[in-house]
Chain A
Amino acid sequence: MSRKQREEERVRGIFGRRALLLGAGQMGLLGFLAHRLHTLQVDEGERYATLAEENRLSARLLAPPRGRVLDREGRVVAGNQLNWRALLVAEQTSDVSATLETLTKIIPLTDAERARIEREVRRRRRFVPVVVREFLSWEEMARIELNAPDLPGISVDVGTTRVYAEGEHLAHIVGYVAPPAERDMDGDPLLELPGIRVGRAGIERHHDRTLRGRAGAVQLEVNAVGRVIRELDRREGVQGQDVQLSVDAELQKSIRGKIEEGTSVVLMDARNGELLAMATQPSFDPNVFNSGVSAAQWREWTANRATPLINKATNGLYAPGSTFKMVVALAGLEARAVTSGERVTCPGYMDLGDTRFHCWHRPGHGGVDMRTALKLSCDVYFYELAKRVGMDRIAAMGRRFGLGVPLEIELPGTRAGLMPTREWRQAQGRPWALGDTVVHGIGQGFYQLTPLSLATMTARLATGRAVQPHLTRAIGGRPVRGTRAEDWPSLGIPDRDLRLVREAMWAVVNEQGGTARAARLPAEIGTMAGKTGTTQVRRVSREQRERGFRVDQMPREWRPHALFVAFAPVENPVFAVSVVVEHGTSGSGAAAPLARDVLVEAFQRLRPGQGGPAARVAEAPRSPIPPVRP
């Protein structure tokens, strides 16, 4: 019994130790769990709290409406139109393909469209709407609504789309929008929204940030599968601001109606550089880009030799011809290479070495001073003057007038053009001969200037100030730049020099014998001062000259370009205009009358000054600019 008891005690003792060991081990492990809880909930608690918020919260962006583009008179030239779309929510229908089958009977869907829809339905979660069709007509919408009971999962909602009321008339200025590409992603979360558009060209691109606005956001609580539970916070976005242009859409349209393919017209407010119209032919419909350009359309545009996608007013490059002579004259006066009264004899040509440079007027102009040389556009006078002044000083003066330098216009991709210099030529490894200077004295040669820069030059001639061409008049209703000439720095050219040139330009249009006398403005509208230019596209050979060729017998693409620059009214310049007619044959014949028509219309529509131009008595023309005494 006692042995049995001892044995019992022994077993119990061993058990007691082992049970305590086991129990202590288990409590130790539970202690480890307690420590683990502490680590997760206290030491790393904040990190997990953040992760939990990220889990729970989902921000959805609200797209603000894109700002509009208005013309000078407040007409909407780029606006937003409601875009009715049919959407499909897969979870609301038991059979997606059956729904689409029914829908096809109401609005025909192509196989490609159906494939895209079914692909998107598969890829996205079942409660995310998939766009079935955009730009629904009223009729289509009505038909969908009418058949709603047979179309489970189909709903109609509204977004916005860009619409350009003036279509091709302002396409080169306003530009267009398109869905953003990878390179457009600038960190703005707005761009990731479906259906968003970014400015791709013109004002739409330049002012893209302003027009786009800032995205609003709703903070949503979502569950694990992404379904929205409730809205926690809403932050309204900043609406895109309206951009008002200086361009008058009606004037622009009217001008475009007057011009042919290859013609550019730039009409500027000479006082402040505001562009009133900038028309080229041909153009394109910017609305097409909104919904996507078809490959065929793109091929048609790019294959067209008339380059409808390119704005020739800002990107077409031309030699200025005789419209450049004012710059040469001013360079001569500044360099004191000539006085205004000095006469140069024009026998119809100038010989330099064994090369003979002809004046356009074969019999010659006889003795001409600067005013007469400009008025008659005597080439020999400017050959001689260029020879005296030198190309570098001519080019420097040209750049002061905005020629061959980048202009601050709000059109991305605008070309600066080229103002040739000896240095430039030598950089190409070619020598600069005196003959080159002579030829450049009449605006021929290596110049590559845009119609826009020629209009800028004219405005600067008219005001003596370095006005910059621009298109933006106001953003969000606030004017952006000074509208007065005084806001622009002076060119630093003596007033008497400028007056001489202006007066000569007045004579070009208004005096007997002036090259553009036929294009003078009707007396009741006002007076303009201008300068013609004709630039050769092909060199005329000696034999042709001797056979007495006529340009109007040449093939069209060989004919010279016609140019004209002008400002008006002469007394107090408001308008500056440049016209380039490709292969227009003659500046006085093709470009000057067009410039006149443009100015007449500008006067009638825009009525510069209080109450419009006063009726004036038709008398013998008299220059309003007092003649400059030598």
Chain B
Amino acid sequence: MKFERRLLLRERGSGVFEKLWQIPWVFVLLLCAVAGVGYVALYSAGGGAPDPYAGRHAIRFGFGLVMMLSIALVDIRLIARFAWVGYAMGVGLLVLVALHGQVGKGAQRWIDIGPVQLQPSELMKIMLVVALASWFHKASWERIGNPLFLIPPIIAVLIPAALIFKQPNLGTSLITLMIGGAVFFAAGVRLWKFAILVGAVAIAAPIVYENLHDYQRARITTFLDPESDPLGAGYNIIQSKIALGSGGFWGKGFLQGTQGHLNFLPEKQTDFIFTMLAEEFGLVGGLSVLGLLASVIAFGFLVALRSRHQFGRLLAVGLATNYFLYVFVNIAMVTGSIPVGGVPLPLISHGGSAMITVMIGFGLLMSAHVHRDADLGADRGET
């Protein structure tokens, strides 16, 4: 009975039209809604005009949508097979950017590929999730308990994290580590190993702090007391809190946000786009957007739970966590809850690199959904 169903389902997922039918259109609509929120916010940030942000945002999203749906149709087994190739390419790009990358915002983060500027660190996170999912796909419970089995994936996490840290981009480096950690956790790595890790971090943190760039240290110090430097590094945090707080419950109304429009709010179209929204639409708007974003993340977990193969599960959890970390770090940053880290709010804030990479990730997530019943050969290795 069960066997028959699997056969049936596999059959169902083979044709292109059948696959299109399997695409989670509700999720696509959800993403369109998030991008729509982004359009509204960027329209306001552009001073009440589609130029210069909102229009480009829409075009980019359209492009991303096509790419995402194309990826969704790619067979998950193909993705699993080329997981490490993708990982190697990601690391290659990071090395390339370290050698030839453009210097922007005090860091080498960007690389020019034709007309598009790409941030390899964003892409790397996706590639890392795919690679880790494929590593743990076949692992049995016993095997995961074997420390030697964990060494290769740990190295696979540390290489990109170190490269990104060297750029230097502390925030993304930490996020990369956290995504890796999430996949490790979901895969079933023993909890006491995480405890050891936490202890090691506690010891290493002061040493790392010593080696931080001045601007990174400044961010941490001003985080602890932003008011200490109201015109300098703390300015962003204070202004963001003022703009947010002054929005109140109902907000000041669309295009009526004074702080954003009078440029008190820095980088309002990128990192502080959520502040702009919350100023104009108040707590009501802020919570609605937060709810929308939570739904996107929750959908990722739903896909993970419904997948019938470990690769799809870990892939979905890793990608959902990737998006969650963007959302959490960004909003925590603009509400003055964690240090300013230059993390955008993909699909809402202006900037192509994060949006495209996130949508590549969602494409993979959808592929996992479409091919949730695919047989990837669950050889647990011990037999």
Interface centre among A21, A30, A44, A222 (most CB of B within 10 A): A30
CB-CB under 8 A for A56 and B262, given A26-B321, A26-B324, A49-B248: yes
Q: Which residues of B contact A23 (CB under 8 A)?
A: 297-298, 301, 320
Closest beta carbon of chain B to A402's beta carbon, Å: 60
Contact A52 B243 (CB under 8 A): yes
Contact B262 A55 (CB under 8 A): yes
Chain B CB within 8 A of A143 CB: no
> Quick check: which of A1-9, A272-280, A490-498, A509-517 contacts chain B, the rest being far away?
A1-9
Contact with B along A8-21 (1 / 0, CB 8 A): 10111011101111
Contact B380 A48 (CB under 8 A): no
Complex: chain B residue closest to A41, CB-CB: B283
Pick the contact of A221 from B262, B305, B336 — CB < 8 Å? Answer: B262
CB-CB under 8 A for A41 and B249, given A15-B186, A33-B332: yes
Chain A CB within 8 A of B335 CB: yes
Chain B CB within 8 A of A37 CB: yes
- The CA-CA distance from A36 to B301 in the complex, in Å, is 24
- The CA-CA distance from A40 to B241 in the complex, in Å, is 7
- The CA-CA distance from A51 to B301 in the complex, in Å, is 41
Q: Which residues of A contact B305 (CB under 8 A)?
A: 16, 19
CB-CB under 8 A for A52 and B246, given A34-B287, A37-B290: yes
B261-282 contacts to A (CB < 8 Å): 262-264, 278, 282
Q: Which residues of A contact B336 (CB under 8 A)?
A: 40
- The CA-CA distance from A274 to B110 in the complex, in Å, is 85
B183-229 contacts to A (CB < 8 Å): 185-188
Pick the contact of A223 from B262, B293, B327 — CB < 8 Å? Answer: B262
CB-CB under 8 A for A55 and B259, given A27-B294, A41-B248, A44-B245: yes
Contact A7 B140 (CB under 8 A): yes
Chain A CB within 8 A of B286 CB: yes
Pick the contact of A15 from B187, B294, B378 — CB < 8 Å? Answer: B187
CB-CB under 8 A for A19 and B317, given A26-B297, A27-B294: yes
Contact A49 B245 (CB under 8 A): yes
Q: Which residues of B contact A11 (CB under 8 A)?
A: 140-141, 188, 310, 380
- The CA-CA distance from A45 to B278 in the complex, in Å, is 12
- The CA-CA distance from A484 to B324 in the complex, in Å, is 90
- The CA-CA distance from A3 to B380 in the complex, in Å, is 11
Chain B CB within 8 A of A38 CB: yes
Chain A CB within 8 A of B182 CB: yes
- The CA-CA distance from A16 to B302 in the complex, in Å, is 11
Chain A CB within 8 A of B109 CB: no
Q: Which residues of B contact A22 (CB under 8 A)?
A: 182, 185-186, 301, 317, 321
Contact B328 A30 (CB under 8 A): yes
- The CA-CA distance from A175 to B141 in the complex, in Å, is 98
Complex: chain A residue closest to B283, CB-CB: A41
Contact A30 B327 (CB under 8 A): yes
Contact B335 A33 (CB under 8 A): yes
Contact A8 B246 (CB under 8 A): no
Q: Which residues of A contact B313 (CB under 8 A)?
A: 12, 15, 19
Closest beta carbon of chain A to B358's beta carbon, Å: 16
Q: Which residues of A contact B304 (CB under 8 A)?
A: 15, 19
Chain B CB within 8 A of A607 CB: no
Q: Which residues of A contact B242 (CB under 8 A)?
A: 48, 51-52, 55
Chain A CB within 8 A of B337 CB: yes
Q: Which residues of B contact A8 (CB under 8 A)?
A: 378, 380
Closest beta carbon of chain A to B230's beta carbon, Å: 11
- The CA-CA distance from A229 to B262 in the complex, in Å, is 8
- The CA-CA distance from A16 to B239 in the complex, in Å, is 42
Q: Which residues of A contact B327 (CB under 8 A)?
A: 30
- The CA-CA distance from A171 to B301 in the complex, in Å, is 89
Chain B CB within 8 A of A556 CB: no
Q: Which residues of B contact A18 (CB under 8 A)?
A: 185-188
- The CA-CA distance from A19 to B185 in the complex, in Å, is 8
Contact B246 A51 (CB under 8 A): yes
Contact B278 A29 (CB under 8 A): no
Chain B CB within 8 A of A42 CB: yes
Contact B243 A37 (CB under 8 A): no
Please list the residues of chain A having a beta carbon within 8 angstroms of any beta carbon in chain B.
Answer: 3-4, 7-8, 10-12, 14-16, 18-23, 26-27, 29-30, 32-34, 36-38, 40-42, 44-49, 51-53, 55-56, 221-225, 229
12 sample A-B contacts, Cβ–Cβ < 8 Å, listed by A number? A3-B383, A8-B378, A18-B185, A18-B188, A30-B297, A33-B337, A42-B283, A45-B245, A45-B246, A46-B248, A52-B264, A55-B259
Contacts A7-B141, A38-B283, A224-B262 known; 17 new A-B pairs at CB < 8 A: A4-B383, A8-B380, A15-B188, A15-B313, A27-B298, A30-B297, A32-B337, A33-B290, A34-B290, A36-B337, A41-B286, A42-B248, A46-B248, A55-B239, A222-B262, A223-B263, A229-B262
